């Protein structure tokens, strides 16, 4: 199989969506920008950093690439319309089932949201790497940036899709599942997979390192923690941002918005700094305390603090936004705090009055 035939095979069933004027196969694609603007964002995934080849299938990686790129368009209040993808890895992986599985994961997620996969690049390389760039349509609305939060606004968090059962099997989850607040699930799923790989899984059940890929939970003795582990692993492997909630927030008058990808504490700090305000967040509110209590049995079994997952865990891709006081929040959004004037030490985030230490993911810390 040569490069051209491989590209043809992988691009054959990609969704094209509305507004794709020229799809894959030329030097560039051509896409429509009905209001004369497009949002553009890029995100890269590397094996061993953003996913682990031993845990994630090609489908998972394709899904994740789409989900997190499209979430960055939705976080501006845009409708994600187009995605281009560059994929590199060992030739035997790209010419084999891994790459077609990747294309399926990418396509399933994009097709659900009406997003076209309009082009890409394919290269041999020593490590699996996938890079995406998503373009979004603001439909005539102003972009909702991180910098517009006003003192007196309420701070709100969006739900994500429900983690689908059977994520490891052939039964594919449907993107955009029912809304639920389960921030921290991705961090919990990663913690569970790591515990299995290091043999500490005995704390949860009888699984060993070699069974980390067995996501069905056979042999786990604590039924509650086992069920939570399955849901958390699903949240880690296939994050399911509810992209429509970004547009809903924009229509409801959101003053600032962002995708929570590095942890609520860290990302809220970024929004606070961009807006020059203090975000006072109440960890006891239902949208945060609910997930904490939800994940608590799994966290206990793993010797973790569920607060760390909820406030510091990234990659659930919930949206964080601020709304004018008195605005009625759209479905799928819950209040988690208030916007205050910055304190003497400048803009930032406080949890129950204590300044956040900005826990969360940093590639270079």
CB of 194 to a copy of itself, least distance (A): 18
Nearest residue to 157 (alpha-carbon basis) of 321, 313, 306, 338: 321
The Cα 28–Cα 14 span in angstroms is: 16
Taking the least distance from each CB to a copy of itself, the nearer of 295 and 333 is: 333
CB of 82 to a copy of itself, least distance (A): 7
CB of 323 to a copy of itself, least distance (A): 17
- Total length of the chain: 365
Q: Where are the beta strands (DSSP E) in 205-324?
A: 256-259, 278-281, 319-323
Taking the least distance from each CB to a copy of itself, the nearer of 130 and 211 is: 130
The Cα 365–Cα 363 span in angstroms is: 6
Q: How many CB atoms lie within 10 A of CB 270?
A: 18
CB of 259 to a copy of itself, least distance (A): 5
CB of 138 to a copy of itself, least distance (A): 7
Taking the least distance from each CB to a copy of itself, the nearer of 28 and 328 is: 28
CB of 275 to a copy of itself, least distance (A): 12
CB 36 within 8 Å of CB 140: no
Taking the least distance from each CB to a copy of itself, the nearer of 19 and 201 is: 19
List, in sequence order, every residue forming a beta bridge with 340; answer none if it has no partner: 278
The Cα 107–Cα 105 span in angstroms is: 5
The Cα 173–Cα 124 span in angstroms is: 30
Taking the least distance from each CB to a copy of itself, the nearer of 344 and 364 is: 364
Taking the least distance from each CB to a copy of itself, the nearer of 11 and 168 is: 11
CB of 347 to a copy of itself, least distance (A): 13
Q: Where are the beta strands (DSSP E) in 208-306?
A: 256-259, 278-281
Report CA torsion sign: 301, 305, 311, 312: negative
Taking the least distance from each CB to a copy of itself, the nearer of 40 and 151 is: 40
CB of 89 to a copy of itself, least distance (A): 10
Taking the least distance from each CB to a copy of itself, the nearer of 76 and 232 is: 76
Nearest residue to 264 (alpha-carbon basis) of 354, 341, 361, 143: 361
Residue with tokens 């003053």: 255
Residues contacting residue 252 through CB under 8 Å, at least 6 positions apart: 323, 327, 328, 329, 330, 333
């Amino acid at each position: 199989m040569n490069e051209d035939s491989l590209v043809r095979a992988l691009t054959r069933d990609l969704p094209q969506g509305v507004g794709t004027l020229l799809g894959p196969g030329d030097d560039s694609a051509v896409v429509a920008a009905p209001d004369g603007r497009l949002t553009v964002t890029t995100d890269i995934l590397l094996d061993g950093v953003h996913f682990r080849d031993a845990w994630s299938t090609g489908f998972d990686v394709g899904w994740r690439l789409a989900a997190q790129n499209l979430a960055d368009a939705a976080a501006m209040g845009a409708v994600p319309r187009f995605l281009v993808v560059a994929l590199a890895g060992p030739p035997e992986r790209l010419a084999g089932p891994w790459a077609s599985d990747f294309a399926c994961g990418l396509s399933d997620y994009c097709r659900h949201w009406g997003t076209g996969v309009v082009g890409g690049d394919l290269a041999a390389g020593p490590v699996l790497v996938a890079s995406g760039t998503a373009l979004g349509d603001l439909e005539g609305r102003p972009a909702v940036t991180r910098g517009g939060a006003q003192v007196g606004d309420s701070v709100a968090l969006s739900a994500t899709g429900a983690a689908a059962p059977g994520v490891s099997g052939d039964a594919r989850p449907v993107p955009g599942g029912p809304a639920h607040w389960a921030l921290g699930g991705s961090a919990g799923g990663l913690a569970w997979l790591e515990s299995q790989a290091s043999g500490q899984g005995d704390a949860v059940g009888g699984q060993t390192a070699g069974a980390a890929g067995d996501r069905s939970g056979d042999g786990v003795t604590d039924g509650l923690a086992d069920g939570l582990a399955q849901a958390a692993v699903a949240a880690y492997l296939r994050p399911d941002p509810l992209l429509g909630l970004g547009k809903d927030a924009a229509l409801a008058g959101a003053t600032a918005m962002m995708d929570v990808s590095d942890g609520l504490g860290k990302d809220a700090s970024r929004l606070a700094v961009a807006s020059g305000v203090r975000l006072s967040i109440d960890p006891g509110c239902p949208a945060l305390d609910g997930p904490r209590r939800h994940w608590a049995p799994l966290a206990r079994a793993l010797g973790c603090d569920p607060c760390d997952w909820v406030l510091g865990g990234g990659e659930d891709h919930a949206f964080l936004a601020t709304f004018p006081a008195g605005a009625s929040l759209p479905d799928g959004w819950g209040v988690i705090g208030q916007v205050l004037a910055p304190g003497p030490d400048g803009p930032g985030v406080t949890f129950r009055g204590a300044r956040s230490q900005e826990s969360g993911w940093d590639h270079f810390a």
